[in-house]
Amino acid sequence: MNKRLLLIVFLTCASAMAQTVLSGSAIISVIGTLEGFATTPPAASPTFSPAAGTYSSTQSVTISTSTVGCSAYIYWNTTGSPTSGDTHGTSVSVASSETVYAKVIGCPGYTHSAVRSAAYTITTPPAASPTFSPAAGTYSSTQSVTISTSTAGCSAYLYWNTTGSPTSGDTRGTAVSVASSETVYAKVIGCPGYTDSAVGSAVYTISGASPAMVQDVAWGTNDGGLRGQYFYYHLPKPTLGGSSTQGDSTNNLLVCGLSHDTTSVTAAITDNQSNAWSAGPTTNDGGRVATLYYVAGVKQGTQDITVTLSAAQYDVHFRCSEFYNMEVSSPSDGAAVTTVGSGKAAPTISTSSAINTTADGDLIFYYGIDGTAQCCNIEVTSYAVGSNFSLLVNDLRTAHFAEYQVQPTHGSITPTITANGSTEAFDAVAMAFKSHGGYGTAPPPGIRIVHEYHFTPDQSSSPVVVQFPCAGNLLVTTVSTTNDQFNFTGITDSDTNTHTKWTAAGYPQIFYVQNATCSNPNTRTVSITTDKGGSPAPSVMYDVTGAAVSAYDSTMGVVTGSGNQASEAASNTSCVNNSKYNSTLNATPTRANGLMFVVENNGQGPECGASGTNNVFDSAWFQTEDDACCGLLDSSSGFLHIPYSSTAQQTATFNWANSAAGSSSSFAIAAIAFSSQ
């Protein structure tokens, strides 16, 4: 019988298919299958490489099928049997423990494959626990701690605090300043490819650190021919600290001595960081007032200080010192004054009563001034500091002094200093400040000014003797002399250092000692020989630390010129910065990282500021100041220094004020540079 006829009979008779109406194409398909005795095969089930298993890192899994031409039809997911709506592809990144399911769907000539799966267990390693440098331990000063992890690429994911296990909400970074005893905790959080590290910690104990000085500067007086009410002073460097918050434990102590005539006059001190100044002990002899002012926890960046008197006065003296390792909260631990009256206080100047301190390691600061002399002849030949005291910058001509010591054990102390050669009475004030080891900020390495002394030599004698303590290895003296003033002909000192002179004849003078030695800072004297011609020239002496052994870089040269100056009212608090009212010197050092010192003589003056980039104006200035009299308080003279980090050209620009409108003034500027260690 014909096969086709047999099939028709079979279909007609089959009860299971009786109600199904088959199209011709369906019949033909079935007939074809029966004729070939074959069915459509499924695609081969997917395989995985690497195979299912346990791994310690993210795995890049490749899915494949052995059926030729079907790799493009692989679908996968991590939830169950894939469909054509799932991910289409052969690559899977397995970063955490999970099962990957795959299936071939729709490959031409093949039915869908069976589902195949592979279970992966990812045991991601933790990042290495943080370490600390310097290591945990006891230290006598603030520590700059660096946190690190040995796991490559994870340093950017370090978080730390001082309270416990850090979270991603804590401080992110690797640098911590530890100013007081505390524990630092750190953890690696969220580093790709790693689970979070264990918490690392380091316990730091900051104790036993004594108060130490950062910088010290002293100025002379306004001359006897002019009164001043508004005085502007500038520290050699901005005060150090870690934030601008008043009283922050990373900030330092700034203590300043102020004296002036007329006891009914009051003083107020302000600065460029809006610190809250406290008045310490004061003495009033009926003709002169001497007072200590201070800021505990002085804000970082304090540098420009304004003294405002309630009325214009003669003979205003000012000096400031910065210390670290000092208490910032309730720092006072007692005070005393020298009583001036019927008796003479010189040559031995002691406070009228002892200070009874209550804390170990106090800083004792003692400041005073001749209560009789106004200015400006030699009143003191030298100062001899009291027992265990250290000399600060002192002035022999206008007879003001300062000294300090750290008292190891609390108890009674009577500050004393001897003013050799004096027969005058002194006004003096002393105060005890509590120390706190690890508080404040120590100066960083590198070249910097430690002592700065503004003085006007006595023209009546030669040599002129200056008592100038030392701490650094570079001494620089700048003199704002010109042809119509006397010149320094030479400088020697008690340590037999060689003071090299650099100048062009008749222009501002510069002397320097590189690789200077200092045998005893309390007795260091500097002798200056002069030609005693003309009026005295204001001068500044700098004691610099961190200079190279061969620090001298290059002499920048002399610039001369002239220009009109501004007319300033006495009540004007501004300083002119205008191309018509200033002078400029451009100079290029040959070595990076150093200090440039610049000095100017200005025929009319005075210089009231500096506006060049990185210019630090050293001159003091008071409104109504001119150079008509004795040339004190830097009158008609400009002093500045420039810290620099590269060999790029540096520009020094002096601004002028308080001169007759439209008057012409000649000027001359000299500069010199020294490199850091």
Q: What single string gives the DSSP state of each residue in 256-277?
A: EEEEEE-TT--EEEEETT----
Given a contact cutoff of 8 angstroms between Cβ atoms, the answer to whether 507 and 555 are in contact is no
Question: Which pLDDT score is estimated for 490?
Answer: 87
Going by their DSSP bridges, the two strands 539-545 and 474-479 should be labelled as antiparallel
Question: Which pLDDT score is estimated for 321?
Answer: 98
Residues 6+ apart with CB under 8 A from 668: 482, 507, 508, 558, 559, 560, 600, 601
Is residue 658 over pLDDT 90? Answer: no
Whether the full predicted model's pTM is greater than 0.85, yes or no, is no
Is residue 236 over pLDDT 50? Answer: yes
Going by pLDDT thresholds of 50, 70 and 90, the confidence category of residue 254 is very high
Bridge partner list, 116 = 102
- Distance (Å, whole) CA 81 – CA 115: 6
Given a contact cutoff of 8 angstroms between Cβ atoms, the answer to whether 217 and 362 are in contact is no
Higher pLDDT, 364 or 589: 364
Question: Which pLDDT score is estimated for 502?
Answer: 80
126 upstream amide cis, omega within 30 of 0: no
Given a contact cutoff of 8 angstroms between Cβ atoms, the answer to whether 266 and 669 are in contact is no
- Percent over 90 (pLDDT), the chain: 50
- Distance (Å, whole) CA 253 – CA 431: 13
Is residue 225 over pLDDT 70? Answer: no
The arithmetic mean of pLDDT across residues 544-568, rounded, is 67
pLDDT in tens, 511-525: 999 999 998 999 888
Question: Which pLDDT score is estimated for 342?
Answer: 44
Higher pLDDT, 648 or 29: 648
C-beta atoms surrounding 342 within 10 Å:
6
Residue of 196, 199, 202 whose CA lies nearest to 157: 196
- Distance (Å, whole) CA 139 – CA 590: 39
- Distance (Å, whole) CA 650 – CA 50: 64
Going by pLDDT thresholds of 50, 70 and 90, the confidence category of residue 89 is very high
pLDDT in tens, 114-153: 999 999 998 888 999 999 999 998 887 778 899 999 999 9
The arithmetic mean of pLDDT across residues 364-391, rounded, is 83
pLDDT in tens, 479-521: 887 666 677 888 999 999 999 988 766 678 899 999 999 989 9
Going by pLDDT thresholds of 50, 70 and 90, the confidence category of residue 107 is very high
By residue count, the chain amounts to 677
C-beta atoms surrounding 3 within 10 Å:
10
Higher pLDDT, 37 or 338: 338
Instruction: Describe the crossing of helices 24-36 and 3-13 by its angle, rounded to 10 degrees.
Output: 120
First to last CA, the chain: 115
- Distance (Å, whole) CA 539 – CA 669: 14
DSSP 71-140: GGGEEEESSSS--TTSEESSEEEE-SSEEEEEEE---TTSBPPPPEEEEEEE-PPBPPPPEEESPSEEES
Burial class (CB in 10 A: 0-12, 13-18, 19+), 354: middle
Tokens of 270: 């302000």
Given a contact cutoff of 8 angstroms between Cβ atoms, the answer to whether 268 and 657 are in contact is no
Question: Which pLDDT score is estimated for 16?
Answer: 37
- Distance (Å, whole) CA 400 – CA 375: 11
C-beta atoms surrounding 201 within 10 Å:
17
Given a contact cutoff of 8 angstroms between Cβ atoms, the answer to whether 540 and 488 are in contact is no
pLDDT in tens, 272-321: 999 999 999 999 887 788 999 999 999 999 999 999 999 988 788 899 99
Is residue 339 over pLDDT 90? Answer: no
Question: Which pLDDT score is estimated for 421?
Answer: 83
Question: Which pLDDT score is estimated for 483?
Answer: 61
Tokens of 489: 């002909």
The arithmetic mean of pLDDT across residues 437-462, rounded, is 85
Query: Does an H or E element contain 517, and which?
Result: none
Longest dimension (CA), the chain: 156
The arithmetic mean of pLDDT across residues 541-570, rounded, is 68
Query: Does an H or E element contain 246, and which?
Result: none
Residue of 225, 236, 293 whose CA lies nearest to 259: 293
Q: Which of 63-72, 251-260, 392-401, 658-667 has the lowest mean pLDDT?
A: 658-667
Tokens of 237: 């460097």
For the chain, what is the radius of gyration of the CA atoms? Answer: 41
